Structure 1
Amino acid sequence: MVRFDHTEVSVQMDYVNMPRTSSQGETDAVTGRNVYRLVAVIFGLLCILQAALNISLRLTTCHLKMVLVLTEATAFMAFEIFKGVVRLPPETRWDRLQVSCNPLHSASKIKETATEGTCTNSSQALDELKKKIKTIDSHRQQGWLYFPPSLYYISSTQRPWSLSRADCLQRHADLVVVNSREEQAFIVNFNMRVWIGLQMTKGTWKWVDGSQLTESYWTPGEPNNFENAMEDCVQTGLNDINSWNDVVCREPHFWICEKVV
């Protein structure tokens, strides 16, 4: 009788404990799935964070490279001015130089380009700037002078206007086109009478690049076709802003070539 009761109790206990074992297994399975999901989410976030860091580092690298090259260009300009190779007249507006070679000003433009999500344009700008620096340096060694944004070559001999221009063309340049008061001040600073790229064409003063004359620096009383001569070419110089003079084209004079870089 005692053995029967023990068996009956055992069966009853086994029956009661069976659901508890099944419920614990399901709980463990659910917990395991949640852990896997959490790990997957964390891994995904890490991937996104890594991608963001890569993009940020890439853009930062582009900025640093560009600022270094721009700083190099600015240092080059400062060194040239210090040596006197780049001769700037007192009338020169320094803000014009700052627009061309101020690294902070240029870097801000590069920042706008880089924020588009690629360094392609920035790399092209770097290559162009390096090429420009090399061009300026190589021409400087050949006697050219740099005044932003162009290189200038002053002849050591005198020729008529047409032959002077032919020499400039052979140098892959042309007679100077004066586009501003600052540029005119730079030219007359040499205190020489030189041909410029201005000529009378069919009754109209035109530059060698085909543009018409809009801003002039004539000497008072000029142009005048003195003594009814065919003074269809122009020279400038002698340390005065308003120093243009119309001259007969066949007269020999020094000349100045300009090459935009």
Structure 2
Amino acid sequence: MAEGIYNNVSSVELSEADRGERVEKTVTIYMSADAVRAQETNTQRETTTQQTVVRTGIRCSRLAVVCVGLLCVLLLTTNIVLYMYYIRDQTIIANLTAGRETLLSSIRNLTEERDQLKSSYQNLTEEKEQINNTYRNLIQEYHILQTKFHHLVKLIEKSCFKELKTFGSSFYFFSTENKSWSESRQDCREGGADLVIINSKEEQMFLIDQKNERISGLV
């Protein structure tokens, strides 16, 4: 376009017009060329500006896409981390629940064992009381037997009771005096004894034999 403008200027210089007019036209043409150049410069600037704006828009779009991608990755990572924490919490809750059930079962077992021990303790206490009662009864019987033994020893030492007969662990005295039942019992109690009480068939046969012997001796 500039070469065309300069060609036009040459043709104007070879015309038949005067120089003053030629100079004025030449200046006018040159001013027009500067205007064209300025317009071209403005056009180039506008084109460059538009390209810059387009490039900036593309860069912004790319940056927005990258930011969205990063946000998606961050959101996915956050979801994965939250899911892992959720799984961990569920596992911990399950373990705690199982531990609680185990503790409750242990508590129930311990409670049952405690009740059994209480029952056993009560039974042992009752058995202890029974043993103590039996022991006291045996002590009383021992004292009674000891007292009877001392009375029997005294009876043996008396001259009137020298003829004693034994059967088992008992001593028997057969009196030859004729007395009533009350008098005979009173006499025996004064000596620390009592009238005989037959407790078995063997004891009865022993007494019958002793009676027969004494009857035979009297005859």
TM range, normalised to the smaller chain?
0.3 to 0.5
For normalisation by structure 1, the TM-score amounts to: 0.38
More strand by share: 1
Higher-Rg structure is 2
More helix by share: 2
For normalisation by structure 2, the TM-score amounts to: 0.44
Larger RCO of the pair (alpha carbons < 8 Å, separation 6+): 1
